[in-house]
Amino acid sequence: MSRRSWVRPLIAMGLVAVTAVVSACGTSGPGETTSGALKIWALEDPVLNKIENKSIDSFKAGGGNASLETFGNDPYKQRLRVAIGSPQAPDLFFNWGGGNLKEYVDAGKVADLTSVLEENKAVKDAFIPSVLNGAKLGDKYYGVPMRGMQPVLLFFNKKVFSEAGAKPPTTWDELLTAVDTFKAKGITPIALAGTQAWTELMWAEYVLDRVAGPEVFKNIRDKGPEGWKDPAVVESMTKLKDLIDRGAFGSSFASVGYDAGGASTILAQGKAAMHLMGSWEYTNQLDQSPDFVKNGDLGWVAFPSVPGGKGDAGNLVGNVSNFYSATQDSKSLDAAKKFVTTELHKDSYVEALIEAGDVPPVVGAEEKLKKSPNPEYASFIYDLVLDSKNFQLSWDQDLPADDATFMLTQLQEFFLGKVSPQQFVDAVAAR
């Protein structure tokens, strides 16, 4: 089961549909709302909700009072959209940061946490800067990280690489060389689940970042579709088109999915050499192809650098983290601020996340990660994020839902060769 499914964008629904899904919301049982308690909303997760309830127990032990209410993925955004401006709004709510949070900030519904973080500098400094910035809009902070980090990595089949005499690519030129090597041997160079556009989006995100740096997309997000007209977008899409035309993804990627038997299996079986995917790929492989992982054949590296590009080679894209944000009109705003500045960086909370397989967004976790179920992999992710200057939230989460859906449709057309780089830009810029 892909953890990616927890963060995929929802197309905006009409009020009638919203009303219909509210009844589908659930609670975590022990976290049912109690009168006078700080009301916290989060996404359902059978493992992580237990940890979040323990953080509430810790808060209560310190004299506070709080309760957790959880919701399934599909109803959550719609429930939040309806409730946030009403008396039923939570005091703290789970979100993905970036554009997902921006619409509520722009509407004046979210409390600015900048001053409380500045006043509690030890708390601010406890979080990895590139992750904390995931809920920073302009020069203000509107959220605090509360779950693990999920950057996108380039996974590879070590056995296939060894047999081909190839090395994992660290630069764009090395990637092209590897593509040519595997193509000549009749092996699909890169597995791609082309039936789901979000897998293709990862390529567009990284290539634009490596070519132009993070500011180009931030301009698109903050100033609107006109930002797509930046020349760097056509340049990066042209580079990506060259990769597609080179045969990097084979000829049948449009029929490959990311469910069981899809792109991950193709990699594990040695039918493909590489696979760009979120860090949850490790768990997927462990579940679907355990011998592939246990035999040490699954490898991973950061996305290659682009020589001459403006983007730092350490920049990341993916699911930065999840955040707790406070509602501006909360009658328990002081308690909400106290919760996010006392509970989310505690050793007990961090250690519980690690035990659950998450990589926590806090500094100084190196020794704790040795107790992770997969310490080598967890430490790699942690070090990668710790060293990153910028961690970009997946574009389909960082843009308005309608714009994201349209972009994904155009991107699939682009990968199929139906639109050129310039036509892609013209289409998304015209929104």
Inter-residue contact 79 to 12 (CB < 8 Å): no
Specify the pLDDT at position 22. Answer: 33
CA neighbours closer than 13 Å in the CB half-sphere of residue 35:
0
DSSP H helices, 107-157, are 114-119, 121-124, 129-132
pLDDT at residue 71 tops 70: yes
Specify the pLDDT at position 77. Answer: 84
φ/ψ region of 384 (left if φ > 0, alpha if ψ in -120 to 50, else beta) reads: alpha
pLDDT at residue 212 tops 90: yes
Tokens describing residue 430: 């015209």
Kindly state the average pLDDT of the residues 316-344.
98
Nearest to 408 by CA among 260, 214, 226, 202: 202
Inter-residue contact 325 to 102 (CB < 8 Å): no
pLDDT-derived band at 8, boundaries 50, 70, 90: very low
What is the distance, to the nearest Å, from the Cα of residue 360 to the centroid of all Cα atoms in its chain?
14
pLDDT at residue 34 tops 70: no
Kindly state the average pLDDT of the residues 343-358.
97
Inter-residue contact 221 to 98 (CB < 8 Å): yes
Phi, psi of 72 (to 5 degrees): -65, 160
pLDDT at residue 213 tops 70: yes
3-class DSSP state of 214: coil
pLDDT at residue 3 tops 50: no
Specify the pLDDT at position 75. Answer: 86
pLDDT-derived band at 74, boundaries 50, 70, 90: confident
pLDDT-derived band at 73, boundaries 50, 70, 90: confident
**pLDDT tens for each residue of 163-185:** 999 999 999 999 999 999 999 99
**pLDDT tens for each residue of 87-136:** 999 999 999 999 889 999 999 999 999 999 999 999 999 999 999 999 99
Rounded Cα distance, 121 and 116, in Å: 9
pLDDT at residue 13 tops 50: no
Kindly state the average pLDDT of the residues 244-257.
97
- Tell me the domains of the chain and their CATH numbers: 38-149+321-363 (3.40.190.10), 150-318+393-429 (3.40.190.10)
Q: Is the dihedral of CA 337, 341, 344, 349 positive or negative?
A: negative
Specify the pLDDT at position 31. Answer: 36
3-class DSSP state of 329: coil
pLDDT-derived band at 16, boundaries 50, 70, 90: very low
Q: Is the dihedral of CA 201, 404, 223, 228 positive or negative?
A: positive
Q: Is the dihedral of CA 223, 229, 235, 239 positive or negative?
A: positive
Kindly state the average pLDDT of the residues 145-171.
98
Distances (CA, A) of 113 to 219, 288, 349: 23, 42, 21
What is the distance, to the nearest Å, from the Cα of residue 276 to the centroid of all Cα atoms in its chain?
14
Phi, psi of 326 (to 5 degrees): -100, 140
Which range is least confidently modeled, 81-85, 89-93, 332-336? Answer: 81-85
Tokens describing residue 342: 């006392």
Rounded Cα distance, 92 and 336, in Å: 6
Specify the pLDDT at position 1. Answer: 38
CA end-to-end span of the chain: 34
Rounded Cα distance, 321 and 45, in Å: 15
Angle between helices 215-223 and 197-212 (to 10 degrees): 120
pLDDT at residue 23 tops 70: no
Which range is least confidently modeled, 3-7, 117-121, 143-147, 204-208? Answer: 3-7
Rounded Cα distance, 113 and 94, in Å: 15
Cα angle: 271, vertex 276, 278; to 5 degrees = 125
pLDDT at residue 12 tops 80: no
Reported for 102-107, long-range contacts at CB under 8 A and 24+ positions apart, including other chains, are 102/137, 102/221, 103/400, 104/325, 105/137, 105/142
pLDDT-derived band at 11, boundaries 50, 70, 90: very low
Query: What average pLDDT is seen over the chain?
Result: 92
Which range is least confidently modeled, 23-27, 266-270, 326-330, 405-409? Answer: 23-27
Specify the pLDDT at position 259. Answer: 80
Inter-residue contact 198 to 192 (CB < 8 Å): no
Phi, psi of 274 (to 5 degrees): -135, 165
Specify the pLDDT at position 275. Answer: 99
